[in-house]
Structures are given as structure tokens and as C-alpha cells.
Structure 1
Amino acid sequence: MSTTAAPQPWSPPRSASTGRSWSPVALGAAWGQLVALGVLYVVCVRTAPGQREENRLHSLALENRGSETGWLRTAFDLVDRLQPQHLVLGVAVVGLVGLVRGRFGAAVRGVVVAAGTLGLTELLKLVLLERPNLLEHGSAANSLPSGHTSAVLGLALGLLVAGPRWLRLPLALAGAVAAGAMGAFVIADGWHRVSDVLASALVGSIVLCLVQVVPHRGERRRAALVRLALVVPGAAAAALVVVYAGGAPLTTSYLVAGAVVALTVLTAAQALPREVRGRA
């Protein structure tokens, strides 16, 4: 008499987990990047050598301000005209994308990522962090993280969360270009220092991971979350080595910082949960 084995219940692969419970992996990813953000702040802002290198590039940017011509000058003038209401409109668009798809949960998470990235940035910059005057001609005004970079980065990440999976690639590419360009711009035009932009990349990644901590319907990618938590701090550290330890010129510095922000968007797109059909 032959017997057949009872069918085994389906379980997700090891690299993924269902989103119906709290995610310690996402929490660990956020925590690790928060530590990296603290290290970045201490090295670049709380030490005299860090401030000296940052001020060197910042002074060059201020000296070259307004020297751009052609399409680059047009782009800079466009960024100059950005106002807070443009950000509010962008956050509303993020929520609308999720609602049009009938995904209320995705709409809420997208709005939280978009608004939370800028909100955490402003909290850190204006309330929690300070820039001590460690040099004779140093500035005591804290500028870390960059609000403009975080605003565009948050919108890019929010759209990825709220948008459909089949649009993730074009949204990721467009978001990487926009956020990376903003990160490069604020350094090139003397608005921010390199560490400010790198800190914005970390803030955006932290908020994205925190949103994935809470239970939701979907299939988390644990391996991709870990990769995100390693890539963004690693890229930021490499950028500091190139820019400060390597004595990079201004052009190289803002291109490298912008590339880290762009890489954050691309890596985050791969770490987003797989949607379960018919569920938010």
C-alpha cells in the first residue's frame, strides 16, 4: 500500500519575509545607518581637521558661485526658485499615486517616507545637532544634513514606495538623477558641504528602513535591506576618503557626493517589498 507525503505549506525564501509582523532586520538596518550618521557627524563637524577640509571646498564653491553658463546656469536658476509649497505639492503627488492605484497603505508609507526624510533632516539640522567653532574663521551655523537634497531624495523614495512595481526602474532612474543632481548642486553653489549631502543620503535610507519595520502586507527583502544598510554608509565613507583624505578638487567632490545620493535611490529601489497582488 503506497502512501503520499502530505503537501508542505508554502513558506517564503530565506532572503524574504512576509510583512505581517515587525521586522527586526529593517530596524537593525536603520539603527546601523544611524550609527554611521553619527560617525559622519563627529568626524566632519566635531573635529578641527574635518572642519578644515570641509571649509576648504566650501570656500572654493563660494568663490566660484555664479560663474556657471549655458544650460547649467539655467538649471541653477531653476533650483533657486524652489519653494516649500513645491515640496508640499510633491508629497501630495506621492500620496495620490498610491491612492489612484487603490493602495492606501502604500500611499501612507510613501507620504511618510517623503515627508519624514525632510522632517528628520530639519530636526537634526535645526534642533539636535550643532556645529562648534573649532577654527579661527570657522562657521558656527550647522548645515548638516542638507534640506534641499533630503527633499528631493525623500520624494524620489516616496514615489518608489507608492508607485507600482513595474514602474520602479524608470522611477528609480529618474529619482537617482534628480536627487543626485540636487546633492551636487548644493555643494557646487556653496549652499552645503560634502558631509551635509552624504548625511542626507543616510537620513533617506534610515527613514525608508524605519517604514519597513512596521507590519504591512507584502514580502520584505531581508537580504536587500541588509545590502542597503551596508552600501549607503560604505559609499559615504568612500566618498569622504576621496574628497578629504585624497584632497579632491571641487568638481570631483560634488560629483562624488551626488553619486552617493543617486546610488542610495537605486539601492533602495531593490530593497522595497514585493507587493502581494490585490493587497495594500
Structure 2
Amino acid sequence: MSTTAAPQPWSPPRPVSSRRTWSLVALGAGWWQLVALGVLYVVCVRTAAGQRHENRLHDVALENRGSETGWLRTAFDLVDRLQPHHLVLGVGVVGLVGLVRGRLGAAARGVVVAGGTLAVTELLKLVLLERPALLEHGSAANSLPSGHTSAVLGLALGLLVAGPRWLRAPLALAGAAAAGAMGAFVIADGWHRVSDVLASALVGSIVLCLVHVLPTRDQRRRGALVRLSLLVPGAAAAALVVVYAGGADLTTSYLLAGAVVALTVLTAALALPREVRSRG
């Protein structure tokens, strides 16, 4: 029987130049979003006008803290009980999903995305970035990006990377709902400002793009990755215009920020490479 009778999805091998082009696109997508993250930080945190817009909504959220009832209060209480060991368990589940499938590379990339999203967030928030005192009522500790949002977003993206292609749609929908809800919750309960959550969306997208700089035998889609790198910063910028320049209320603001986080998960699912099966 001829070995060429049934073409395989991985054949013919991609040339080195094609792999190099993919890596450059992934690297460029990550760096471009890093620039967008820097602009977000400078505009919202390093200017008096930005801090004034930030504090307007944050003060309202702090005044309303604890006033939620019913299922919303239950959800806030659940979020409040999340601990670091829950994240460690979640990252372990991401790796286990890839290993059970026999996809060591996917398991490793999923773990890097899940853990790396939070690690980069904490590095930025606690070490590299600061919130200067530009207004009369004083300064606060830097809160950009949001650690809780990045934790859930990272796990959602990690599961997409490590999980099988046939599960991507339900995983993307569930991950978008969970990460988007977390982003909305931390703003509504006064834990974070809008820009903190938008920054988390950018961090998750950046880590995902940079992880895909690594070589893989899967069928990669440069256009989808570029679309991810454009949509997430664009959505974040649009949300800022509506929330701060447009003077949106607290409910509109946290719903918009949560929607940007959810969009990050959904767009990332479409940007992932198509897996190919091994020979034999």
C-alpha cells in the first residue's frame, strides 16, 4: 500500500523559515501588547487625571461594599475564600489534563500559561510598578494588575492550551464566564479598579502569545494570533473610554471590564494552533 495514499495533516513538514516567521509573529504580538499595557499603566496610574477617574468608581464600590444580597453575596463570599493553594491545585489540574492526553508539550505550555499569568501579574504589581500619590487624599498600594482576575484567567487559558481541541468550545465558554465574572466581582466589591482588571486581560494574552514562540508541530494560525493581539488592547482601550471619559456608572464599568476578560478567553481559544496526530 502506498504511504502517500492518505495525506497526513502534519505532512509535508513546515520549513524552518515558516517556523521562524510564526515565532516572530508570536513574539511581536506579545511585545505589542506589553506596550499597550505600559500605556494603560501610565494613563491610569501615573497621571492625576487617570487616578481621579479611577478613584471615582473605586470610592463608590467601597461605599457599597457588603450591600449585596442573595446569590451575588454568595458569589462574593466564595471569591473571598480563595487561597493560593487553590491556584496550585488548578495549575496541577491543567498539567494533568495534558499528561492524561499524552501531550507532554501541551501540558507544559498549559502550566506555563496558567502559572505564568499570575506570576507576571504579581511581579508587576508588587515589584515593578507603583502607584504614586498624585491626589490630595493620598496614595494607595499599587493594585495593577488584579491577581484574582489573572489567576482565573490564567487557569482558563491554560486549560484551553492543555485540553483537547474537541473540548475547546465548552472550555472557552466556561473559562470566559468564570474569568469575566471574577473581573467584574473584584471591581464591584472594591478590591480593584477597572484598569487593574483590564491589565490582567493584557497580561494573560501576552503570556499566551509568548508561550507560542516555542516550537510546536501543530498547525499554527498567524492571523488568529495577530487578531488576539489587536482585539484585547482594542477592547481594553474602548472600555476605558466608555468608563472614564464617558463617566459610566459602577455597574456598567464592572460589566465592561468583565466582558473584556471574557473576550480574551474566547479570542484566545480561536488563536490556538490546530493539533495534529502522531504517525501510527
Which bracket does the TM-score occupy, shorter chain normalised?
A: over 0.9
Per-residue CA deviation, residues 107-152 of structure 1 (Å, 9 max, x unaligned), is 0000000000000000000000000000011323100000000000
Q: Secondary structure at the match of 2:220?
A: strand
8 Å contact 1:27–1:210 — kept in the other structure? yes
**Residue 239 to residue 220, structure 1, CA distance change in 2 (3 Å):** same
The residue identity in structure 2 corresponding to 1:181 is A
**Does the aligned pair in 2 maintain the 1:19–1:220 contact within 8 Å?**
no
Q: CA deviation at 1:278?
A: 2.2
Structure 2 match to 1:31: 31
Q: Are 1:95 and 1:107, in contact at CA under 8 Å, matched by a contact in 2?
A: yes
Q: Tell me if the contact between 1:21 and 1:215 (Cα under 8 Å) persists in the aligned partners.
A: no
Alignment match, 1:206: 206
Q: Does 1:277 align with 2:249?
A: no
The answer to whether the 8 Å contact 2:22/2:220 transfers is no
Equivalent residues in 2 for 1:1-280 (5 A)?
10=12, 23-278=23-278
Cα pair distance change 1:134/1:20, threshold 3 Å = closer
Query: Which segments of 5 or more consecutive residues in structure 2 lack a partner in the other structure?
Result: 1-10
Q: 2-side partners of 1:221 and 1:27: how far apart?
A: 14
Contact 2:156–2:172 (Cα < 8 Å) also in 1: yes
Cα distance in 2 for residues equivalent to 1:238 and 1:20: 33
Q: How many residues align?
A: 267
Unpaired runs of 5+ in structure 1?
1-8
Conserved? CA contact 2:22–2:222, under 8 Å? no
Q: Equivalent residue for 1:4?
A: none
Letter of the aligned partner of 2:166 in structure 1? W
TM-score w.r.t. structure 1 length?
A: 0.93
Distance 1:178 1:140 in 2: 28
User: Is the Cα–Cα contact under 8 Å of residues 29 and 206 in structure 1 kept in the other structure?
Assistant: yes
RMSD after superposition:
1.6
Deviation at 1:11, TM superposition (A): 7.7
Counterpart residue identity of residue 135, structure 1: L
Aligned-pair distance for 1:102?
0.4
Alpha-carbon separation, structure 2, partners of 1:21 and 1:115: 27
Identity %: 87
Give SS of 2:242's match: helix
Q: Give the whole-Å Cα distance in 1 for the aligned partners of 2:111 and 2:131.
A: 30
Distance 1:18 1:175, change over 3 A: farther
Structure 1 residues 259, 113: closer, same or farther in 2, change over 3 A? Answer: same
Q: Is the 8 A contact 1:19 1:219 kept in 2?
A: no
